[in-house]
Chains A and B, each alone.
Chain A
């Protein structure tokens, strides 16, 4: 426990605010009727997740989270929502048994089980640390120990870009000339 008006107390207060932002964003992302609002909720949730990464001593990963998820993935989903023009979700009744209370129960069971596991285990800290996990160390191991995976992920991204272009090249007009 720390005093609320010390530096640690204020940072703890900001942490609580970030957690609330994350959870509210996630709830908006799964519950809103219109998909464009769901994307906005996803962006809010990712801003909160970036804050969590900042609290985990990794400002670089927090920056990448903002840049890639909020800046790129959410904008791409917005483009897809505009191109595909989805109707608002229809009323319940046509859906399968999984929509509604059963899906909520499944999600809650997962959350409850995982957090019970996290709370009951006695986690043991490391005996020693080989480095301090700064950005310099991340860059060094990315270019020495993980260079193969680093190159492979470039290839994966290149293939994803080309594949996306090939699949979606013709926009929203149907093929075959209807």
Chain B
């Protein structure tokens, strides 16, 4: 039985990253609660990180750059998640809901 060596080609990783990005974008548009949007945003960041790591493994002359960039993306994403979640809790405290369509006081 023969099987292609999937894990050794650049395009496999790029297609997986595009799939994660597409699913994340779909979730970001379709979700109505703020936490659901945050989860979809994390998926988009994961897709971007996979892209960086794939290019780093197959195309970069200096194979440390992509790893360091991915580590920085992780740090920024952790900070973003902490801030966004505390904002969501503050919104919940004032509005008693985290539905994005009910938090519309500034809507004209």
A residues sitting closer than 8 Å to B (CB atoms) are 1-5, 8-9, 11-13, 15-16, 19, 22-23, 26-27, 29-30, 35, 38-39, 42, 45-46, 49, 52-53, 55-58, 60-61, 64-65, 68-69, 72-73, 76-77, 79-81, 83-87, 89-90, 94-96, 98-100, 102-104, 106-108, 110-112, 114-115, 118-119, 123-133, 137-138, 141-142, 146, 149, 153, 156-157, 159-161, 163-165, 167-168, 170-175
Contacts and interface: CB of A to CB of B under 8 A. Distances in A.
A125 B55 CA distance: 10
A80 B89 contact: yes
Contacts, number: 286
Contacts of A167: 83, 86-87, 89-90
A98 B32 CA distance: 10
Give 5 closest A-B pairs by Cβ, nearest first: A133-B63, A107-B26, A111-B22, A30-B27, A118-B14
Nearest to A65: B74
Interface in B61-86: 61-65, 67-68, 70-72, 74-83, 85-86
A124 B18 CA distance: 20
Interface of B: 1-7, 10-27, 29-33, 35-36, 38-40, 42-43, 46, 49-50, 53-54, 56-65, 67-68, 70-72, 74-83, 85-90, 92-94, 96-99, 101
Nearest to B79: A160
Contacts of B50: 49, 52-53
Contact of B23 (A30, A64, A118, A160): A30
Given A57-B63, A138-B64, 4 more contacts: A23-B16, A42-B42, A115-B18, A160-B78
Contacts of B92: 83-85, 172
Given A1-B4, A49-B50, A119-B15, A131 B63 contact: yes
A9 B98 CA distance: 48
A134 B92 CA distance: 45
